[in-house]
Amino acid sequence: MLTELTPLFKKPPLYTKTEIPFWDDEHISLQMLNAHLNPNYDGASRKLEFIEKSVDWISKILPSEHYPSVLDIGCGPGLYTERYAKKGYRVVGVDFSHRSINYAQMSAKRKGLPIDYFYQDYLNLSLDKKFDFATMIYCDFGALSTNDRKQLLKIISLDWEHETELKESLKVYFQEQKTVHEAAKKESAKKHFEFRQREADTKEMVTTKKRPNGVPLSEDELKEEKERLAFYKATARDYLLRYKQHEKEEKQFSEYLKLL
């Protein structure tokens, strides 16, 4: 027993690949598929709401009228490919899980979506086609070794014919978002101070049990003012949180703009 266990504790050299066909394993692929298809869980794919937003964003940056064909690398059961097809793209998906590819093919057929799926290792991709752009979603690129990343990029061989156009539309989008968050940040700050002022005025009434004109508050009125105070306090806090979130987003889009 000990002789069988001991080798398992030996640390493998860095970037050693598993011998196990991880994505095609009977048990793992079933659990993965369940996780992909759960709209409220982001263990294998992002949550459905995020996927919808991502596809909307992609189709805004790379509209299908100008970039009609897309390759989705590691497409899983087709959560993105189907949405691309509905947005008018010609779509090809590749994945190394039989279970996911089979599911994706059946789902596309059921929905009448003309998507081509291939069971292939994207590190040895052989497709006799050219695409306007490719997506690889959910951190898979980051999980590859340096050599595998280089290999994948060589295979994909980016078509820089669209570089200037793409950068221009990204610039417009990032600038738009920066402006939106800047305006929302200012509005949140205004509202925050407005509610802080209301909170202070109401607190004064609750503490003195009098209106600003000196008229005493009845029991019922005092109770009402206390409730109002709690509401103003919570609303002021909420606007402060919104302010911080918009500030963060504004900074993020400024950083993105610097990258272009």
Ligand X SMILES: C[S@@+](CC[C@H](N)C(=O)[O-])C[C@H]1O[C@@H](n2cnc3c(N)ncnc32)[C@H](O)[C@@H]1O
Which residues would be at the binding site for ligand X (CB under 6 A)?
A: 23, 36, 44-45, 74-76, 79, 94-97, 100, 121-123, 137-138, 140
Q: By the 8 A CB rule, do 132 and 68 touch?
A: yes
Question: Is 142 or 214 the residue whose CB approaches ligand X more closely?
Answer: 142
Q: Which residue is nearest to ligand X (CB)?
A: 74
Burial 77-95 (b: 16+ CB within 10 A, else e): bbbbbbbbbebebbbbbbb
Give CA separation, 186 vs 239, 243, 246, 255, in Å.
Answer: 10, 8, 9, 20
CA-based nearest residue to 24, from 97, 119, 75: 97
Question: Is 117 or 122 the residue whose CB approaches ligand X more closely?
Answer: 122
CB of 100 to ligand X, least distance (A): 5
Question: How many other β-carbons are positioned within 10 Å of the β-carbon of residue 176?
Answer: 12
Question: Is 122 or 133 the residue whose CB approaches ligand X more closely?
Answer: 122
CB of 145 to ligand X, least distance (A): 12
CB of 54 to ligand X, least distance (A): 9
CB of 246 to ligand X, least distance (A): 28
Question: Is 79 or 236 the residue whose CB approaches ligand X more closely?
Answer: 79
CB of 102 to ligand X, least distance (A): 12
Question: Is 101 or 205 the residue whose CB approaches ligand X more closely?
Answer: 101
CB of 184 to ligand X, least distance (A): 29
Question: Is 36 or 192 the residue whose CB approaches ligand X more closely?
Answer: 36
Report which residue type is found at 1: M
